[in-house]
Amino acid sequence: MKILTVILALWTLAAWPARAQINQYWNATPNDVNNLLKSMKDMIGVNYNMQIKTLSEVSADASRDPILFRSGHYNYQYTDAQRKRLREYMLGGGMVIFNTGLGSAPFYRSTVKELAAIFPEQPLQRLTSDHPIFHSYYDLDRVQYLPGVAKAGYTGNEPWFDAVEINCRVVALVSRWCMAVGWEDYEKPEFQAYTASSAKKLGVNIFSYASAMRAWAKTAALSIKWVDKEDAGADRVSMVQVVYDGIWKTRHAGLSVLLQTFNLRTEVPVKYRITETRLKDPKIFNAPLLYLTGHEYFTITASEAEQLKKYLENGGFLFAEACCGRKGFDLAFRQLMQHILPANPLREIPAGSPVYFTPNDVRKVGVTPMLQQDLNMTTIAPKLEGIDFSGHYSVIYSPYGMAGGWEMSQSPYARGYDDVGSQKLGQNILMYAVTQ
């Protein structure tokens, strides 16, 4: 039997004002996590340890307390100090799981509000069915609910998890419908909850994902970082990252690192300060390059789409990539290009294009372990797609992820190029953009 020891910190409310309601609140299903951990030992042969702690007792070192679990029914609110502590904990590699007790709307609303206060720069977003958390052990993009969920107004069969993701890692996970009663094998038709079978499989997936990402987070913390340099000098290459509603920034240092390595490789002067703006801003017409990325499906307004169309038709350049090779972003980007440029479809860039040879000769490239599993190959010919305007590509798109590779720390669940391949292809795309 494989043994994996992870401390699960059950988050009690002993640090909050003592009230009967609150004391009941964290312990409404007292054996939920313990039963899940026992089930996991039988289901996948892995041992997890559990401890009950107050927030003040949780170690700031996430390797000691890697996962926090909180379940409840009622409204709640953190202090500023508690929000700060939680933010530091999650950015340091920890993960917090919020379970709505019996699908409690007040608890869910409070959690959404608190996470917005903790991470104002990174909005909570519902995870789509291709997210690795639904495939980390079981393929579970469809689940079964107890009848109470449909009575509450949700009639779908996809799991409903919201999450805050930082650098391609879920740091806070919110289950809209209750998992805890399923972990206790306690089912009633009126419960707004998953069935026991689905709840346990979701639990296995959550802990499998958290374990893999915690191991990766240790190495990712040592990955290349780059602080944008102050503006100095003229004739520098700049880049605008496109802002849209949703998670438009998936890796916080990747683009800066790419510009740094491009400068070192080519000696082309680079302006390291990156502008982040929406497409409606007329300043995009002063930018020679736009960069667009994400994980999930996204949309932009009609006016933004029209502005992007004008930008491209007037000589602008768009570099886009599906971070981690995610299907949601891929679908949205293809639909956007088809909408704004119906006469200029995305096509695979042929192997003889200069984008594969300058400044790096990239005929073969390594891929991440997840993409290896999909393709059954460790190296492939690079796959880029583009939109051709009279012999010149104004759009270059990678359906495989690169941003994690720019930081030399691809996520274990990424479907993309390896670190070296990501760097070389990224540098080539920049060179093409500034020279063609």
Residue 22 has pLDDT above 90, yes or no: no
pLDDT at position 256, please? 82
Beta pairing partners, 322: 294
Percent of the chain scoring above 70 in pLDDT: 84
Query: In this structure, what token pair is assigned to residue 21?
Result: 């309601």
Of 294, 274, 245, the closest CA to residue 123 belongs to 245
Give the amino acid at 417.
Answer: Y
Cα(32)–Cα(397) distance, rounded to whole angstroms?
A: 45
CB count in 10 Å sphere of residue 360: 18
Cα(432)–Cα(186) distance, rounded to whole angstroms?
A: 60
CB count in 10 Å sphere of residue 122: 20
Cα(285)–Cα(275) distance, rounded to whole angstroms?
A: 13
pLDDT at position 174, please? 97
Who wins on pLDDT, 135 or 37? 135
pLDDT at position 297, please? 93
Cα(105)–Cα(183) distance, rounded to whole angstroms?
A: 20
- The arithmetic mean of pLDDT across residues 299-303, rounded, is 95
Contact 60, 88 (CB under 8 A): yes
DSSP 247-294: ---S-SSHHHHHHHHHHHHH---B--PPEEEETTSGGGGG-SEEEEEE
pLDDT in tens, 303-344: 999 999 999 999 999 999 999 999 999 999 999 999 999 999
pLDDT at position 29, please? 62
Query: In this structure, what token pair is assigned to residue 321?
Result: 């990539």
pLDDT at position 251, please? 87
Give the amino acid at 316.
Answer: G
Cα(233)–Cα(102) distance, rounded to whole angstroms?
A: 60
Same fold across 7-220 and 240-435: yes
Contact 404, 387 (CB under 8 A): no
What residue ranges do the domains of the chain occupy?
A: 7-220, 240-435
Cα(117)–Cα(83) distance, rounded to whole angstroms?
A: 8
State the chain's mean pLDDT as an integer. 84
Residue 117 has pLDDT above 70, yes or no: yes
pLDDT in tens, 86-115: 999 898 888 999 999 999 999 999 999 999
Who wins on pLDDT, 369 or 238? 369
pLDDT bin (cut points 50, 70, 90) of residue 216 is confident
What's the distance, Cα to Cα, between the start and end of the chain in Å? Answer: 58
Could you give the dihedral angle defined by the CA atoms of residues 370, 371, 375 and 380, in that order, rounded to the nearest 10 degrees? -140
φ/ψ (deg, to 5) at 272: -80, -15
pLDDT bin (cut points 50, 70, 90) of residue 218 is low
pLDDT in tens, 27-58: 556 567 767 777 776 677 666 667 777 777 87
DSSP 349-382: PPTTSGGGTSSS--SSEEB-HHHHHHHT-SEE--
Residue 131 has pLDDT above 80, yes or no: yes
- The arithmetic mean of pLDDT across residues 284-293, rounded, is 91
Half-sphere exposure of 114 (CA within 13 A, CB side): 24
Query: In this structure, what token pair is assigned to residue 191?
Result: 């419960």
* Architecture of the domain spanning 7-220: 3-Layer(aba) Sandwich (3.40)
Distances (CA, A) of 48 to 34, 103, 371: 9, 26, 29
Give the amino acid at 184.
Answer: E
Residue 67 has pLDDT above 50, yes or no: yes
Distances (CA, A) of 35 to 49, 76, 168, 217, 413: 12, 26, 30, 28, 28
Cα 130 versus chain centre, distance: 11
Cα(32)–Cα(22) distance, rounded to whole angstroms?
A: 18
* Architecture of the domain spanning 240-435: 3-Layer(aba) Sandwich (3.40)
Contact 314, 306 (CB under 8 A): no
The residue with tokens 């401390």 is 7
Cα(308)–Cα(50) distance, rounded to whole angstroms?
A: 51
- The arithmetic mean of pLDDT across residues 297-304, rounded, is 94
CB count in 10 Å sphere of residue 289: 18
Give the amino acid at 82.
Answer: Q
pLDDT at position 237, please? 57
DSSP 155-175: ---S--EEEEEETTEEEEEEE
pLDDT at position 211, please? 83
At 387, is the secondary structure helix, strand, or coil?
Answer: strand
Residue 133 has pLDDT above 50, yes or no: yes
Residue 217 has pLDDT above 90, yes or no: no
pLDDT at position 254, please? 83
Half-sphere exposure of 281 (CA within 13 A, CB side): 14
